[in-house]
Homo-oligomer: A and B are copies of this chain.
């Protein structure tokens, strides 16, 4: 049974079709697993083989096309009728002579859609260059268009039902962050602290369990804090060191990320303490400024002005839309809190605002995941904003 009511999926499909019509796309081949889930409910770890949800302006239900052995999973998790679930034979898998997108093309021909304007998600994860070439060869009469992020832009506005799962993820995330802090201590191996974090991510709360986040826990320390995407080692945490905690929780594929900074030891430098206070002030100030109608770039400007007073600036964006997702990223790749982004904030948009300030040899980061409300914003998790000194 799908996670949401069928009516909710049909509304998502309607909103997608409006954007398709605007973009001159008759048939959209959706390969991004988050977009596939969004339109049908499909949820499975099967995106390591090519698969798609195909949505046509003239058809009420989308068609799920995937590996034959995953059709049962599609029946189990989507709202689709059985005739809209099509599995391809297993000899398409990792074959040197044929490709699953040949099968998808065949299904499109069979429905008489092959002379239409066909959208594909050109930059989506799991839609390969080969897949595109095969589709183009098999569908010579089609007019291919880039439908990248088309569904993702529909996803930016969450329903109340989606928000409910994100709040549950926020509740789990409070426990995840507390677990990390409880397990940080000089001499503890990084892998053991990460293990405790994973345990809490999946166990969730007594009321609701957790799902796997789209990004692994990041808990770097020492010189690794300057290399943001290195994962953990067997090395023990050391005394008088800062640790960056970039964590998240996930509930039914909906995320609540949260970042904090901890300091192991008694003597955080005055520089670090001051940077922490200044960053947290900026986070509070920026959250307070958020309300519907504001542009994304205006949110960033609040922060930018605040840190300019201390003679600081931050090059990269300070946040991004997020929610439903799969590895390798929980971000939606749509709106960003950065200069030039004219996206207008509206109720039930959800962002991760992450303020990471990196100096030459020290740094501090603090983040919140929040929902835009009718007159402001609310965070998904409730967790103190400060430098955590652990000694």
* B130 close to A70 (CB less than 8 A): no
A198 to B73, CA, bound (A): 23
* A212 close to B231 (CB less than 8 A): yes
- In the complex, the chain B residue whose C-beta lies closest to that of A329 is B48
Q: How many monomers of this protein are in the complex?
A: 2
* B208 close to A234 (CB less than 8 A): yes
Given A70-B229, A232-B209, A120 and B125 contact (CB-CB distance below 8 Å): no
Of A188-196, A299-307, A368-376, which stretch is located at the interface? A188-196
* A131 close to B126 (CB less than 8 A): no
* B122 close to A133 (CB less than 8 A): yes
A196 to B199, CA, bound (A): 6
Inter-chain contacts of A77 with B (CB < 8 A): 230
Given A123-B131, A126-B125, A226 and B44 contact (CB-CB distance below 8 Å): no
Inter-chain contacts of A164 with B (CB < 8 A): none
A47 to B45, CA, bound (A): 18
* A137 nearest CB across to chain B (Å): 13
- In the complex, the chain B residue whose C-beta lies closest to that of A94 is B333
- In the complex, the chain B residue whose C-beta lies closest to that of A253 is B231
* B229 close to A73 (CB less than 8 A): yes
In the complex, whether A178 has a CB less than 8 A from a CB of chain B is no
* A195 close to B192 (CB less than 8 A): no
Given A45-B215, A122-B133, A130-B122, A209 and B229 contact (CB-CB distance below 8 Å): no
In the complex, whether A124 has a CB less than 8 A from a CB of chain B is yes
In the complex, whether A218 has a CB less than 8 A from a CB of chain B is yes
A 61-73 to B, binary, CB cutoff 8 A, 1 in contact else 0: 0000000011011
Inter-chain contacts of A90 with B (CB < 8 A): 315-316
Residues in A177-227 with C-beta less than 8 Å from chain B: 189-192, 194-196, 198-204, 208-212, 215-216, 218, 223-224, 226-227
Inter-chain contacts of A123 with B (CB < 8 A): 99, 128-131
Selected contact of A209 from candidates B45, B228, B230, B233, CB within 8 Å: B233
Residues in A150-181 with C-beta less than 8 Å from chain B: none
* B190 close to A194 (CB less than 8 A): no
A99 to B122, CA, bound (A): 12
In the complex, whether A112 has a CB less than 8 A from a CB of chain B is no
* A318 nearest CB across to chain B (Å): 13
Selected contact of A191 from candidates B76, B131, B210, CB within 8 Å: B210
* A195 close to B191 (CB less than 8 A): no
Inter-chain contacts of A224 with B (CB < 8 A): 76
Selected contact of A216 from candidates B45, B128, B131, B133, CB within 8 Å: B45
* B210 close to A73 (CB less than 8 A): no
Residues in A42-70 with C-beta less than 8 Å from chain B: 43-48, 69-70
Beyond A123-B131, A192-B209, A209-B232: 12 further Cβ-contacts under 8 Å?
A44-B227, A45-B218, A72-B227, A73-B227, A120-B129, A122-B128, A129-B131, A132-B133, A196-B199, A202-B232, A208-B234, A209-B233
A contact set with B: CB distance below 8 Å: 43-48, 69-70, 72-73, 75-77, 90, 94, 99, 120, 122-133, 146, 148, 189-192, 194-196, 198-204, 208-212, 215-216, 218, 223-224, 226-234, 315-316, 327-329, 333, 336
Question: Can you list 12 contacts pairing A with B, beta carbon distance less than 8 Å?
Answer: A43-B230, A44-B229, A45-B215, A48-B328, A73-B228, A73-B229, A90-B316, A99-B123, A132-B132, A189-B209, A212-B216, A212-B231
* Nearest 6 Cβ contacts at the A-B interface: A191-B209, A129-B132, A195-B202, A73-B227, A122-B130, A198-B198
